[in-house]
Structure formats: C-alpha cells, structure tokens
Amino acid sequence: MPLYLGFDSSTQGLTGIVVEIAGSERRVVLQRSLNFDADFPQYGTRSGVLPRPDPLVATSSPLLWAEALDRFMGILARDSTLDLTQLRAVSGAAQQHGSVYLNGAAAAGLARLDPQGPLAGQVRPMLSRADAPIWMDASTTAQCAAIAGAVGGNEVLARLTGSRAFERFTGPQIRKYHEEDPSGYAATDRIHLVSSFLASLLIGAHAPIEPGDGAGMNLMDLKARRWSEVAVRATAPGLDRKLPALAPSWSVIGRLSRYWVERYGLPPANVIAWSGDNPSSLIGVGLVTAGRIAISLGTSDTLFGLLRAPRVDASGASHVFGAPTGDYMALVCFKNGSLARERVRDAYGLDWDGFSRRLRETPPGNRGAIMLPWFEPEATPPVLTPGVRRYGLDAGDASVNVRAVIEAQMMATALHAGWMGERVVAIHATGGAARNRDILQVMADVHGTEVQQLAVGESAALGAALRAFHGDQLAQGREIGWEEVVAGFVEPVARVRPDPRSVAVYAELKHVYAACEAHALGRGPDPTPLVQAFRSARGPA
C-alpha cells in the first residue's frame, strides 16, 4: 500500500510519521522521534537551544538538524515492518522563523552530496553562518523598529505581511545579521527558513519557501503571496537576490536525491514543499473548515484556526499566515508553554503524575490566585524582560502554583484570540501536554466549549504526511478535497466537555487575569482589589 512520510523538525527534536493510505484504509504505520539534547549531546544544546550569556539571544545549529535528518533516514531504512518501495512522497514541517545562511558553494554542494559520507560534515562548508537564529530569539527590537519605520509603521506592515515586526521573525533577524556581520551577510548566497533548508537537503538543490512559512518572515505580501518589494528593501540591501522562490504548499519541488537513494535504499519519491510547523499542524488537526480552533501545547503554546480571508489583530500581538489549503490561518503564539509548565513542575520536585494530582486537588479559579508565567521573554503579550509575576499567590504552595500556571496559560489563549471573530464550536487539542486530561478540562472550562483530544499528538508531522499525500495526488492529476485528505486521521479519541459551574467561575476570573496582565505591563492600576473581591465572593478556603 502507498506510504507517505512527514517530518517535523521542532525546537527540541525531529519527529517522523509514516502513513499508509489506500482508499478508505488509512493508518499511521510508524512514528518515531529523536531528541536533540539526548540523542546529539555533542552539540551541547539545552532544550534544543545553544546556551548563550544573553537571555534574549536564541540560536541552534543547522548541522544538528542535518545530522538528525540523516540519522532518522537510517532508522527508517532499517525498519523491517515497512515496505519502503511503496514510499510515494515526503514532506515536512519545521519550527517557524528560524533562518539558515548558505554561501555560494551550496548549490553545487547540495547537488553532489556523497552517499558514502555523513550529511552534517558535507553541509558545514556550505554555511556562511555557523548558527541559526530561531523563533525564541528576542534580540532584534531595534531592527523591528527600523523595518516598521521604513514601511510606514507596524499597522502598515501588519496589513501587508500579516504581522507587525516581531523580534523572532526572519526579516529582523536578517537585518541584524547584515548590521552586525556585513561581511558574513555579503558572503551569503541564499537565506533559507529551517523548512526550506531541510527540504533542500532532501532534493539536493535549493528548495523554495512555502507561503505559510514565508508569511512568518515580515517579508511576504500576504494577499499576493510574493515577496514584498517594500518589506524586502526595508530589511537589508540585496536581499531580493538571496531569498528562495515561493511555491504553493502542494508543489512537487523535486525527488529524493541520489544521496538518499544510494545511502539508504529509498526510492526517488516526490518531495512536496515543506511548511512551518504551525501551518502544517492546521492540517494535522483537521482544521480544514471554519468554526474550529486548535490549541497546541508544545514548547510554545499556540492557538490557531482557519480563516477564509485575512484579518489583522488590532493589538498587534497575533499573526495571519498562509494556510496549506490556499486560505489563511490565524495564530497566537505564547512562548512560555511546556518550558513554563516544566519550570513549575521542577520547582516543587514533582513528576507529571504529581503535577496532575496537584491540579485536581485545587478548585477552579484558584481562589483568585493569579500567575503570569513569563519565565522566558514572552511573545503574547510582548514581554522582553522575563520574570514570573504573582498576584494573591503564595510562591511556597505547590498545588496553588500548579493550578495558577495552567489557568494563566488557558486564560491567555482566551484573552488574546477574540480578534479572530470566529464562533468556536470545538477546540482540537494537540501537542505533548494534550495527553493530560486535567489540563484539557481547564481548557474546556476557560473557553466554555468542548475540547477534542486527537489520537496523534504530533500534529505537525502528521500534517506533513497528509500534505505529502495531497501533493502527490494532485501531481497524478487527481483533484482531492481537504476533508478527504484528513479523513480517518483526525477523529477525536476523547472529548472533554466544560463544566457549567467552572465556566461561570472563569467568566469572572478572566477579567481579573486581564487586569493583572495590564498592571504587569504598566497599562493598568493595581488589581489587588479585584483579586480580593473575587476571593471574597468564593468564600473561605
């Protein structure tokens, strides 16, 4: 039966999923992950990030990503349960916004990769910059201001590209590189996203960028789906000559090159354009019709959904990207996702079972105790100086702090997603923490709607595999709708329904949370009276 392979190169690891599709027979036949820290300790990453003295700077190694791809293909080739002669197409997703800088030797180097040698060592001479800025970087505030000013302000930039200038976005990172290392920038022939870089390694040539991922750069005209001359010119000189072409999400961009065919015995399967992890997750959780949103609980927490037409968040905190369906997607990113949950877990010496038990033993609303879990610089709302803020919250009480971090994360998703304007009938939950039913109950209660837990937690990799299927079908001349593409893979395995009593509690608490956030950002008065009033209304502990 035909096989389709999808990758997700996330912040902390590489996941691959193989799906088998023949008519109505559809199933996941392989799912494997490699952890960057544990499986590639020689790179010295921590949670996939290279240690830096400046907390605002976040980079990783392109060689690490290349070596992980090489090793995974070896694992795939040795799996006796798969008939790899049936592999029809490959696609992938990668963490958005990260940039990889290749020199003029890269085009020839990609074309002549030697199957007898490891991939990473052959990639090294192609790099004009050894490290890659990633989405967690928050060091480009000055560059963001310069780019926004050059195009007429952040509102103009958001209407043009789908987002205001964001520190982690690729455009500001490119401008910073040009300013701080002009000779390195001059030696750069091609600037890839993580997604197009890995796709290039598969096809042995420079791969294009897909519009869903390209929209996360502050460089693409969102409606026209082409590079914006205004934004490109505002970013760095000669940048138009360094950017890959843009290609639709379903494009066949090449075939698995000689390197993979000879090194691992893989067939020369079609390679479909890679995308960002968030656009790919849109497919992997089945958001191919309006009225549903997904909340992905991963390294970052993201809330996203399908839009038929682009909208702009007036607050400037959120994004609109291209969707693999040819539509648009809204996305709100919260950088303090799993890392914040882990920090609270570890601070009180808990394992995940203990974390869940503490969550269950505290009441919804937490008697008004509020945490703003900004352990790292935050994207939504923009917080460049990290630090946890507590209101009416005893830092020494493990149970109350466990509930506080979860409630804060869920209330933040509700507070910062209202601009989307969609009536939500269901939430699709994905990501590692979506396996925790206690967390999903808080999600359902805060949003006041049913949460559907999906069978496959790795939605970006699944979405990539399904996009590989979709692109391959179109290449064969078969028109196929997206509902048919996702059928059989995105049905919920569990449903978590909101408790009306808890929904009422959170309807009040969300106002308290919003006041605490405004105060912490210097935009509102001390919320202590609101916290005390909420606590008094709930009665004694």
Domain ranges of the chain: 3-279+460-486, 338-372+382-415+504-538
For strands 292-297 and 275-276, give the pairing. Answer: unpaired
Token output for 472: 């391959």
Q: What is the reported pLDDT for 455?
A: 75
Q: Is the pLDDT of residue 75 over 90?
A: yes
Question: Given pLDDT bands bounded at 50, 70 and 90, which one contains residue 274?
Answer: very high
DSSP string, 426-451: EEEEESGGGG-HHHHHHHHHHHTS-E
Q: Supply the DSSP symbol for 46.
A: B
Coil/strand/helix, residue 504: helix
The pLDDT tens digits of the residues spanning 477-507 come to: 999 999 999 999 998 889 999 999 999 999 9
Q: What is the reported pLDDT for 146?
A: 98
Judge contact between 40 and 126, C-beta under 8 A: no
Give mean pLDDT, residues 350-362.
97
Token output for 244: 């890959």
Question: Given pLDDT bands bounded at 50, 70 and 90, which one contains residue 212?
Answer: very high
- Pairwise CA distance, residues 228 & 224, whole Å: 9
Give mean pLDDT, residues 26-48.
97
Token output for 461: 């990799």
The pLDDT tens digits of the residues spanning 87-138 come to: 999 999 999 999 999 999 999 999 999 999 999 999 999 999 999 999 999 9
Question: Given pLDDT bands bounded at 50, 70 and 90, which one contains residue 289?
Answer: confident
Total-model pTM: 0.84
Average confidence score pLDDT of the chain = 95
DSSP string, 259-307: HHHHHH-----EEEPPEEHHHHHHHHTT--STTEEEEEESSSEEEEEEE
Class of domain 3-279+460-486: alpha beta
Terminal-to-terminal C-alpha distance of the chain: 60
Token output for 458: 């790795």
Q: Is the pLDDT of residue 321 over 90?
A: yes
Share of the chain above pLDDT 70, in %: 99
Q: What is the reported pLDDT for 541?
A: 56
Q: What is the reported pLDDT for 540?
A: 64
Q: Is the pLDDT of residue 313 over 90?
A: no
Q: Is the pLDDT of residue 175 over 60?
A: yes
Q: Is the pLDDT of residue 374 over 70?
A: yes
